[in-house]
Structure 1
Amino acid sequence: MKTTRRTLIALALASAGLTPLAALAQGAGSWPTKPVRVIVNFPAGGAADTLARAIGQPLSEALGQPVVIENRGGANGNIGGEAVARAPADGYTLLMSSGGMVSINPHLYARMAFDPAKDLVPVASAARIAVYLMTKPQLPVNNVQEFLRYAKANPGKLTFGSPGNGSSPHLAAEMMKSQAGLFAVHVPYRGAAPALQDLLAGQIDFHFDPGVGLQHAKTGRLKLLAVGSPKRSPLYPDVPTLAEAGLKGFDADSVFGFYAPAGTPPEVITRLNTEINKVLGTKAIQDRIVALGGEALPLTPAQFAAKASEDSKRFGAIIRERKIAAE
């Protein structure tokens, strides 16, 4: 009788003391066997980059493999997002992004080269990042009420920066303009860091900072007037929310987190979610996130997906109202 291929495989597994199911489990459990690449879809120096690098080191130790950070910014995060969406779904390429690419960009772009909701899967949220209303020191205002009055009295004379057209800091400014009835000129940049540099240089008048400029507010190089969250920041308990200034229900927070290509094995996503949430539970990482003006936000993949859907509705409304489109 001829020995079939199936019989030979079964004999080989038996000689190794493994059943076919055990062999499959062993293969899944062997991940990772090489470095894991995390693509940050914004330039170095911004909140997404800072979070990726802060979490990447302890995550590397937990996985037993290097976690390599690669910045690939542009098009409001779409360039880096597409790179991950097109990558092999093997757990070795991840995306660190603000929630904007998933919750905002589909409302901005008539066409995208990929569908974030279908081509990417949520792995683990990292942080809820607040945005802070900051002005250059030369602006003749000392609190948020004075700023709103000054902006209304000088329509079109003030300029504000953002990490890009349709980014959450841009939408925060548009929410403020809509509710306060004021007009200011938007200057989009390729990331939060270059926008911050021009604010420090006095080239623009104000912006909503996603945390990277807080160190300069502490030293007086910038004026910190308000936070765009529903509640005050524990880092700056004396800084009011915009809701307290009369802009009711104002919420411009964004959730940053990790995504993987659709089709990534569920057991790999579970492992990553577990390890990232452990990292988020450490005081060292929580302190780093607080320094960015945010808070650690460990969620399950399902909870992360639900939050993205909720944010999509909120930001989509202001995009339609203000007729914002990608440039």
Structure 2
Amino acid sequence: MADQGTYVEANQPYERDTRYIETRITRDGADGYPVEAGRYRLVVSYACPWANRTIIVRRLLGLEDAISMGVCGPTHDSRSWTFDLDPGHLDPVLQIPRLQDAYFARVPGYEKGITVPAIVDVPSGAVVTNNFPQITIDFSLEWSDFHRAGAPDLYPEDLRVEIDDVNKLVYRDVNNGVYRCGFAGSQESYDAAYDQLFSRLDWLSDRLKIQRYLVGDTITEADVRLFTTLARFDPVYHGHFKCNREKLSEMPVLWAYARDLFQTPGFGDSTNFDHIKSHYYEVHRDINPSGIVPKGPDLANWAEPHGREALGGSPFGRGTAPAPLV
């Protein structure tokens, strides 16, 4: 296995590098990249929660024909995600072995993180953006001309302020909070992150006791963002990242909520537990030196009834579910 890099800085709290390429693809092409079907390729890994969001939203909105998708393997070296799953280890559209190549086509010698998701301009082979929080919002707002009939409104105008407020808290304390636990460089920073994480999970449980979805009575961007962390909780974060006050399956409200989403078309069928486990346990060698991937937990319980229908609401509102995957 190639050098996997290090993720823990001794005696320091974990700080995520958020220096993303913030170029946007918009209807008016203000940043030089107009919305255009067939021009862009979304590069993802099913292992990564940030990329998993874009996979889900692309499928929910029906953007598969407008935006192609390249899938990196679940593991990577210290520098770049790679196209290990494709014949010849080359992305079949971009014809590159490493995502780093597309970053270098945009910024020669690019020194920041080579991250997924990334959207690549196919004609130039250059990354347009890896700004994952904005990508899914733009899928909803800027790409609406290419949404499927019956696509849900994941970012409704009348709920945007509340969605943004919830997303901010969930990102700080949960989405990134699990990493602040797992990559903490001191007991003090781990304890603080752990307490913040479970305090927010308790807050979310109280909120979701009385409503089926995080904001409003249908799925929104907020549910997508929380789901990808919850899906990784028992397979990875509980043990690997020491987020072990209890398992997700021992938190009744959040466990039922997560199963409700998992069983909704677009969520469970965009989740790959094998890739998730392979990535975290094989790549983070400074916290799992052996690289051994646990066989458990048994994930069949994701298919158990959740009973959340009793709270009202419906996943797609007046819309429809995406067609089953072929």
TM-score by length of 1: 0.32
Which is greater in Rg?
1
Looking at secondary structure, tell me which structure has more strand per residue: 1
TM-score when normalising by structure 2: 0.33
